[in-house]
Homo-oligomer: A and B are copies of this chain.
């Protein structure tokens, strides 16, 4: 008999069905016992009255995997209005060793490091698996939006000969006896692919040897990268990002309503036009000194509050970051060359996306590297490509874990990452 998922039980009242899943919880009352079964669809209440099965229930520890054959009965007092009665229970593996924390309680009470040490069971908690499903829906929305706009997905090398962003924070690797690095971003490759396919995106891991132990940095995270050609400047990139964010949130809303309810998440609205302030205005709004070269986290929080109060928006663009704080491939603002055509997007007061217009002329790359006193040689295979005709272009990168954390109100990106990697964590 074909197994069904618990969430479809209301369609099968009066039928004999097969369920399979994990023993989520047992409740042994005087006259009756309940087995709460968990599967990918949710929970099912199984009512046990016969003495033999009741006795067996004692050996079916929480998290044991079982198959249940029983009759679906309507019961308005039961969850979802149905329960399964007269079950036969078959063990599908071995009785489980219960995990070091209770998965059936509304919240995981174990400390985060304990949860992460036992990630493969902690993730089974509904709050943790809900975040993973929301994450998957966000990525699906990212891709669907871009596919609809004529973008092509690419896959680029994660082992590279030179650092992408700067010499710092790279992982070194022995590549057949040659020193190499893990890619900090697909930046160079996605730009080169604009020369091939015009509009590209990549969803993939990026690696940062972050020496800091913060709630928003990981040594590996999933970067949602976009790059496209033939725009005019960074404003086209910002408009594209707005579409992509709206598409991500629409898919999250469509696919994961139960998970959003589990986490008590109210999705933000993406304004038709996301408010934008120039970096110099942003400093003033945040009350920072006008000669600060960057925004501190406290400044970002202040700007997030300002955007909410002034524009009713959870999102705020900060444009025109100083060139000195942006990577060499950043296009300057033609009217104010000390400022860039680069932007950050703040989401509820945290930097979520970095993007901008890039240089596209070979001569500009040579000049930019020279101005920074950097040699061309480490970047040769990248910079040389610009001799062969590249259109004006730009793009952005969204940090997936940071997006989901901010969306779900998680205090730490590790809460929404299946198996995080950081300064102290290489397993599981």
Is A49 engaged at the interface, CB distance under 8 Å to the other chain?
no
Taking a contact as CB atoms under 8 Å apart, the answer to whether A391 and B93 are in contact is yes
Taking a contact as CB atoms under 8 Å apart, the answer to whether A180 and B390 are in contact is no
Q: Give, as a whole number of angstroms, the nearest-CB distance from A215 to chain B.
A: 18
* B residues less than 8 Å from A284 (CB atoms): none
Task: Give the contact stretch, choosing among A260-268, A271-279, A294-302, A360-368.
Answer: A360-368
Taking a contact as CB atoms under 8 Å apart, the answer to whether B40 and A195 are in contact is no
Partner among B199, B361, B382, B389 whose Cβ is within 8 Å of the Cβ of A63: B389
Answer whether A158 and B220 are a contact pair too, CB < 8 Å, given A147-B140, A175-B171, A230-B20: yes
- Secondary structure at chain A's binding surface: helix, strand, loop or mixed? mixed
* B residues less than 8 Å from A387 (CB atoms): 96-97
Partner among B94, B160, B182, B230 whose Cβ is within 8 Å of the Cβ of A173: B182
Answer whether A418 and B156 are a contact pair too, CB < 8 Å, given A93-B361, A427-B381: yes
- Complex CA gap A140/B155 in Å reads 13
Taking a contact as CB atoms under 8 Å apart, the answer to whether B152 and A94 are in contact is no
- Complex CA gap A143/B137 in Å reads 12
- Complex CA gap A21/B120 in Å reads 50
27 A-B pairs whose Cβ atoms sit less than 8 Å apart in the complex: A20-B391, A40-B150, A92-B392, A93-B361, A93-B389, A96-B388, A98-B388, A124-B195, A132-B152, A136-B152, A155-B222, A158-B205, A158-B207, A158-B220, A159-B182, A159-B219, A159-B426, A172-B173, A173-B182, A175-B219, A176-B423, A178-B426, A182-B182, A189-B419, A204-B205, A205-B205, A381-B427
CB within 8 Å of B: which residues of A?
Answer: 3, 20-23, 39-40, 63-65, 92-94, 96-99, 119-121, 123-124, 128-129, 132-133, 135-136, 139-140, 143, 147, 150, 152-161, 171-176, 178, 180, 182, 189, 192-193, 195-199, 203-205, 207, 209, 211, 219-220, 222, 230, 360-363, 381-382, 385, 387-392, 400, 418-419, 421, 423, 426-428
